[in-house]
Amino acid sequence: MKCKVIVNPSSGMKNFQRSAIMAMHKLSSEGVLTGAYLQYTTEKYDAYKIALDIKPGEYDFVMVVGGDGTANEVINGIIKGGSKTPICILPAGTMNDFATYLGLPRDTAGLCRMIKSFNVVPCDVGKVNDDEYFLNVTAGGTLSEVAHKVSIEAKTALGRFAYYLEGAKDFTTYKFKSFPIRVEYDDKKIEEDVFLFIISNSPNVGGFSGLLPKAKINDGLLDVILIKKPDFVDILPLMMQIRMNTHIQHPKVKYFQTKSLTISCMDDSISIPYDYDGELGGKLPFRAEIVPNAINILVPDHKLKNLQRTES
């Protein structure tokens, strides 16, 4: 097998990058790999450009060593380039929600096992405004704002704890802001003041496992959660319910599944940004839809049985 290895050297801890290099050496020495072509990114969109240039059949798989943003660039490049090359993700970022859901290994031995098994499963992705794809999540509101306040240095030094520290500042000062949105889907309309909206492909978002409990990466559906601004006394109980995965019954929470939707702000004087896979996107309004079977992902043996296609 031949592979392209795309490494973002600014993502996460250096030992995860070493795991990838050691795995390539080991698999090459065992004859599993006949060629491993390593390329480092130096600036934003490098990973996208590298993936975009991959030709059909040029590599048996492409390995991504980086965080959610790097993985996002690669899936956009693979889809827009049309190569259909299977993707192997070594999560080296801060949150890595999608990788956590799939149980993707970070160590050399686990990575080697996954590549040798070569379990390739089709995976859905989301599409925003017909030109950008997201692997895991598009979001707007408090969660998105917190993520973009955290510096690269803090993420590298503190990992996901950096996000919790930043979020705690807003919690203690009660800076949660709400905004009026209109959500249209399946001939339905929701008009609410919310402080957070999330559109996800997997259950895991923002370091929370099961935040969107019905989500699957291959069910042909987007999972959507809207959270209205809670009263101060409701914040702690709501957080507890999120931890126990019972939050979708909370009166401040709306949760549904759909193939496509549009979200707009009902107040033209307010500019509401959104992001996808942790990277800044545009501003409301936007349209999102699911793209079934858009990419192929390598998964470990213990996750394979749980990823049978369940077309909706």
Q: Note the pLDDT of residue 95.
A: 74
Q: Which two tokens stand for residue 122?
A: 């089709």
Q: What percent of the chain lies above the pLDDT cut of 90?
A: 62
Strand partners, 181: 192, 265
Q: Note the pLDDT of residue 147.
A: 52
* Marked catalytic residue, from 43, 58, 132, 279: 279
Residue 160 Cα to chain centre, angstroms: 14
- Does 278 have pLDDT greater than 90? no
| pTM score | 0.87
pLDDT band at 14 (very low <50, low <70, confident <90, very high): low
Domains annotated on the chain, with CATH: 2-124+293-302 (3.40.50.10330), 134-292 (2.60.200.40)
User: Burial level of 66, CB count in 10 A (0-12/13-18/19+)?
Assistant: buried
Pair 297, 123: CB distance under 8 Å: yes
Pair 202, 210: CB distance under 8 Å: no
Q: DSSP state, 304?
A: H
Q: What percent of the chain lies above the pLDDT cut of 70?
A: 84
Q: Note the pLDDT of residue 13.
A: 60
Q: Note the pLDDT of residue 41.
A: 96
Strand bridging mode 260-265 / 179-185: antiparallel
> CA-to-CA distance for 310 and 308, rounded, in angstroms?
6
Mean pLDDT of all residues in 184-205: 95
Q: Note the pLDDT of residue 176.
A: 64
Q: Which of 79-88, 99-108, 150-159, 301-310 has the highest mean pLDDT?
A: 79-88
CA proximity to 196, closest of 252, 148, 149, 237: 252
Q: Note the pLDDT of residue 178.
A: 86
Q: Note the pLDDT of residue 24.
A: 96
- Does 158 have pLDDT greater than 60? no
SS3 content of the chain, % helix, strand, coil (to 5): 35, 35, 35
Mean pLDDT of all residues in 290-304: 96
CA proximity to 149, closest of 136, 165, 173, 134: 165
Pair 4, 63: CB distance under 8 Å: yes
Pair 41, 7: CB distance under 8 Å: yes
Q: Note the pLDDT of residue 237.
A: 72
Tokens 């959507």 appear where? 224
Least confident of 44-53, 106-115, 175-184, 195-204: 175-184
Strand partners, 121: 297
Q: Note the pLDDT of residue 169.
A: 45
Q: Note the pLDDT of residue 284.
A: 94
Amino acid at 3: C
pLDDT band at 195 (very low <50, low <70, confident <90, very high): confident
> CA-to-CA distance for 265 and 103, rounded, in angstroms?
36
Q: Note the pLDDT of residue 80.
A: 98
pLDDT in tens, 211-269: 999 999 999 999 999 998 777 667 677 777 776 677 888 888 999 999 999 999 999 99
pLDDT in tens, 99-155: 999 999 999 999 999 999 999 999 999 999 988 999 999 998 865 555 545 444 444
User: Burial level of 56, CB count in 10 A (0-12/13-18/19+)?
Assistant: exposed
Strand partners, 141: 196
CA proximity to 66, closest of 39, 35, 32, 93: 93
Pair 52, 100: CB distance under 8 Å: no
Element (H, E) at 179: strand 179-185
Beta strand ranges found along 212-272 (DSSP E): 222-227, 253-258, 260-265
Peptide bond into 273 cis (omega under 30): no
Q: Is 279 a catalytic residue?
A: yes
Non-local (6+) Cβ contacts of 92 within 8 A are 8, 11, 12, 13, 16, 17, 65, 66, 67, 106
- Does 78 have pLDDT greater than 80? yes
- Does 172 have pLDDT greater than 80? no
